[in-house]
Chain A
Amino acid sequence: MSGVGAIFRFHLGVGVRLASHAAAPLVGVAVAWVGLQEFPGAVLAAIAQGLVAPGVDPATRWIFAAFLLALATWAAPRVTTGLAGWIRHLPASGTSHRRAALLALVASQLPALVACALLAAGLVAFGQAVSIARLAAIPLVALGAATVALPVRRRALTSALGAASIFLALSPGWLTLGAAAALLLAADRLSGPLAAPSRMRRRRGSARRPILAVISWRAVGLRAVPALAPALLVLGFAALFLANNPVTPAVASGAVRFGGLLAVAILMSGIAAELSVRRPVWPWARSLPWSSSRRVAADALFLALPALPLVAVAAALDPRAAIAVLLATPLLALRAASALRRAQRLRIGALGVVLIEGFVVAGLAGLVPWGGLLFAAAAPLALRAAARAERELPVSRWIAIHHAAAGDSLSWSAK
């Protein structure tokens, strides 16, 4: 096997492993959601038609593309960690590593791609029409999502080209598909090597800054911005719902409470996912003169502040509902800070925990008008629980249950 083939095979394996990690919670949520519908078969058929049938409203395809992008964004730091290090000394070019990492990001989207293929096969089995152009667009969208998510030296350029290729691939016609493919080729040519992690930058005057927030900001920075897109999309759906349906003020307020808190939860889940990878919780900080409550509160504040613009958008839709969203935000932030402490022991990670808990809180807030007060009152309890999770956090970064002491010269348990 050639060197390029070996590198591709290696990264493909990493991507498939990530896909298998993502598959279990995704399949579980999808099965539960479809199962809860009144007519599950009809819902599946509508999704399948929206994805690959000719002449159907593009909304389903856009949501699917956003989902693929979320998967690729989740996988990107997991695939690229270490690619700028030891592995670069092996006899393979930087271009091979970059392309193989791109392949791994496509592979990480396999749960969604396989589901799409199964839905298309279902349509064919039931004798319904399938658009070949729409089917061909799916891999291009996956490649576009991977291109957007891959950290390369000219990230802004390749992200723009990747996003434009997704837009073109989702537009009808073979010509636009060809244009999408051309943009992806251009992105490949212009991307430059994989971006190296920034190290040892000099910082001055950090002694007076809130150091925990500064460290979190360095770790996440503008990487939180992509999580803003699906959050705003949810609020957009809430606005469309209000604009297109004659609903009572109570229902309208409930919709904004639900949409607003779901948007906040989505944004927090994205930031928490970045934090859990790029700035894992730091057990050594326990040796410093800070309380566990302070460490947790610092994370919660870091997670809550970026959500304030979403509360402002909710206020534009319904000011009273926005107050409920604002009151429930500290609880969500504290639960997210707690999830960061539990992430390494949970298969679904911090992202999954925050999303599930956020969905429950948003659902309750949508149904119960005074739910905001209840959630505000629950915040101190959440702080206590999060501080306990912080204190009980295992110090070892590897998964202790799988760790074999044999062969590890640093392990006291081998004796």
Chain B
Amino acid sequence: MIRLRGARFAYGAGDPILDGVDLDLGEGLTLLLGPNGCGKSTLLRVAAGVEMPGAGRVELGGHDLWGDEVAARRDLAYVPEQPDLTPYATLLEILTLVCRLRGAPLDRAAAALETVGLPRLGSRSVRELSMGQRRRAVLAAAMIGVPKIVLLDEPLETLDRAMRDEVLAWVRSLLAASATVVVVTHDIEPFAASAVRAVTVRAGRAVVHDPLPADPAARMALLEAMARGTSAPAR
């Protein structure tokens, strides 16, 4: 369970991107939709504990994200859109760190690299990798262990079709294991059928549609409207 209460966040002294967000996200797939710049990725970064809210509270699994830092992040996996990894660490060092922190066997690191198609790049430092390879690396890190809260920012972007299928199958397995999965995406179709709710950010506030319409056409119309930032479902 992800819970935000009065979460406020601004970059520097600028206008707040999030202005008192109250949000409860439980099990199942949540789509976080909206036009560019509305605050989707910021909301995900705040929920992932990468950005600290200026005010308010964020809880993961009942633990305060900034008061009980380690426990709150124990079951969390986050895949950012821009994988800002430590440049002088090797891929295997990063994945081994994740194995240790999540209590997974160390050989899972090599297996995860194999899964994302980077089996021979473990000894490369991050600065030697292309952006596409870095994105695969953070996907590999997310696949280690059994995370119960998974936050994915544009998880299908830049991936080839085989890798997209791999990621979608992994998301289905997470949902089957009752995980809380939040996906920021402009690519609605692959996730629309399995989503249980959708959220968008408007004027710094979260707007939640829970549950989504059961009728596929109505559901797609609603998700499309949310993705475009229009108030009424698109025709």
Asked whether A and B interact, the reply is yes
Chain A residues within CB distance 8 Å of chain B = 1, 3, 5-7, 9-10, 13-14, 17-18, 21, 78-79, 81-94, 196, 198-202, 396-399, 402-404, 406-411
Chain B residues within CB distance 8 Å of chain A = 11-14, 48-51, 69-71, 73-74, 76-78, 80, 82-89, 93-94, 96-98, 100-102, 116-121, 124-133, 136, 138, 151, 158-160, 163
Knowing that A396-B130, A404-B124 are A-B contacts, what are 15 other residue pairs whose CB atoms are under 8 Å apart, sorted by A's residue number?
A: A1-B100, A3-B101, A10-B97, A13-B89, A78-B88, A82-B126, A84-B84, A86-B84, A86-B138, A90-B98, A91-B102, A202-B12, A202-B13, A404-B121, A410-B131
A86 adjacent to B88 (CB under 8 Å): no
- Give chain B residues whose Cβ lies under 8 Å from the Cβ of A198: 12
Least distance between A173 CB and chain B CB atoms (Å): 38
A18 adjacent to B88 (CB under 8 Å): yes
A199 adjacent to B159 (CB under 8 Å): no
B74 adjacent to A91 (CB under 8 Å): yes
- Give chain A residues whose Cβ lies under 8 Å from the Cβ of B50: 84-86, 88-89
Q: Tell me the nearest residue of chain A to B132, going by C-beta.
A: A410
CA distance A404 to B122 in the complex (A): 12
CA distance A326 to B129 in the complex (A): 42
26 contacts between A and B (CB under 8 A): A3-B100, A5-B100, A6-B100, A9-B100, A10-B97, A13-B93, A14-B89, A78-B87, A81-B84, A83-B86, A85-B50, A85-B84, A85-B85, A86-B78, A89-B73, A90-B76, A91-B74, A91-B102, A198-B12, A399-B128, A404-B124, A406-B120, A407-B118, A407-B120, A407-B121, A411-B130
Determine chain A's interface SS by DSSP, over half rule: loop
CA distance A192 to B84 in the complex (A): 22
B73 adjacent to A398 (CB under 8 Å): no
B80 contact from A14, A83, A86, A200, Cβ within 8 A: A86
A85 contact from B14, B80, B96, Cβ within 8 A: B80
Least distance between A222 CB and chain B CB atoms (Å): 17
Interface centre among A13, A91, A199, A399 (most CB of B within 10 A): A91
CA distance A13 to B125 in the complex (A): 12
Least distance between A383 CB and chain B CB atoms (Å): 30
A91 adjacent to B85 (CB under 8 Å): no
Nearest 7 CB-CB pairs, A to B?
Answer: A85-B84, A6-B100, A410-B132, A89-B78, A200-B11, A91-B73, A409-B160
Least distance between B40 CB and chain A CB atoms (Å): 15
A402 adjacent to B124 (CB under 8 Å): yes
A201 adjacent to B101 (CB under 8 Å): no
CA distance A196 to B93 in the complex (A): 23
Least distance between A352 CB and chain B CB atoms (Å): 17
CA distance A410 to B87 in the complex (A): 20
Given contacts A1-B100, A408-B132, contact A202 B158 (CB under 8 A): no
Q: Tell me the nearest residue of chain B to A78, going by C-beta.
A: B88
- Give chain A residues whose Cβ lies under 8 Å from the Cβ of B125: 17
CA distance A13 to B93 in the complex (A): 8
- Give chain B residues whose Cβ lies under 8 Å from the Cβ of A9: 97, 100
B124 adjacent to A89 (CB under 8 Å): no
A14 contact from B71, B82, B88, Cβ within 8 A: B88
